[in-house]
Every structure is written in structure tokens, then in C-alpha cells.
Amino acid sequence: MKRVVLVAMGWCCLPAAFAQEQPRADAGVMGLVLLYLALVAVGLMGLALSPAHTQSHIRALRERASQLFWQGLGITAVFLMAVLLAGALSESLKRAGDTQGAQLAGLFVLLFLIGYGILALLGLGSVAVVVGDRVAQLFGWRDLAAGWCIMLGIATMLLIVWIPVFGWALGIYWLALMVAGVVLRGRVETEVSE
């Protein structure tokens, strides 16, 4: 029943989005619902495709979240510096008249951003499970299945990051934890192979 309600909420907004009176407001709601559903699907796929890596990331998040935060923040800083340097190179090459070099540097900016986005999405399911499990425990729900934890965690994260300053800080914290999951991938693969 809960699944039907989630899908029905999104589909109820769709006909109104095409109405002549207020297409943008309803389309915005539909966009948020589709974003939520897409993030839930990515989180579930991450959990289904790499269960050993996801379980080790969840365990690490529960045991040493502060260390993972600093690792993720370091990875974020490296990506940010690479994007800024490639963007500055693109601008300076554009001013010098080398449009082909500027386009190549712009392509590197795009590749860095796509790579960072993929890293964040790989860790989304693990962070959503931890956040969803903690929220579920606040409501007295114990041992909730991982899929429900992902749905609850992503809903919580999407709602909180809209709060100015506090929500943004938590969003950066969660993003760093998501990206830090890539550090664990090499460790899990060597443990599994031994």
C-alpha cells in the first residue's frame, strides 16, 4: 500500500502539470517526485549490484563516520581544485585565441564533474541506509529492511538540504560520506580476494 501511495502522488500531479493555468508549479512538484524516485532507484541498484561493498561502507559509516567525512572532504577538495584549474585553463586559452584547447579543457571540467557525480551516486545507497535506519529508530521501528531505509533516508536528506545553512552543512557532510565510499572499494576487493 505504501508503494502505491508514493507512485500515485507523482502521477496525480502529472495531469495538472499539463493544464493551462499553472504548468510550472505542478511540473516542479512532479520534478521533485521524479528526483526522489530516481535517487531511490540509484540507491537500490547500488545496494543490489555491490552488496559486499555497500555493507562494508554501511559498517564503516556506523563505526568511523568522522574519519570517512575527512577522507571524502579531501576527495572533494581534489576534484574541486581540478575543476577550477581546468576551468581557468579553458578561460585563459579562450582569451589567447586557442578555441580547440579551450574546448578540450572544458571537456576535462565536464569529465571531472561527471566522475564526481558518479562517485557520489555510488555511495548514495549506503548513506541513505544509515540515515533511514536512524530516522526509523526515532519512530520506534527496529530492523527495517534496507530498501525501506533507503526510501526513508533519501526522503529525509532531500527535505533537510533545503534548510538554509544547517541543511546545506548536513548536505555537504552526507556528500563527503558518499564520496568516501570509493576509498573503501579497494579495501573490500582485496579482502574478498584473500
Q: What is the pLDDT of residue 157?
A: 95
- Candidates 35, 56, 33; CA nearest to 130 is 56
Q: What is the pLDDT of residue 5?
A: 41
Query: Cell 526522503 identifies what position?
Result: 155
pTM of the model: 0.77
> How does DSSP classify residue 145?
-
CA 58/CA 67 separation, integer angstroms: 14
Q: What is the pLDDT of residue 173?
A: 94
Q: What is the pLDDT of residue 4?
A: 41
The tens place of each residue's pLDDT in the chain, 194 residues long, gives: 444 444 444 445 555 545 545 556 566 778 888 899 999 999 999 888 888 888 888 898 999 889 999 999 999 999 999 999 998 998 898 888 888 888 898 898 899 999 999 989 989 999 999 999 999 999 999 888 999 999 999 999 999 999 999 999 999 999 999 999 877 765 555 554 55
Domain boundaries, the chain: 52-193
Phi-psi region of 106 (alpha: psi -120 to 50; beta: other; left: phi over 0): alpha
Q: What is the pLDDT of residue 6?
A: 44
CA 164/CA 166 separation, integer angstroms: 6
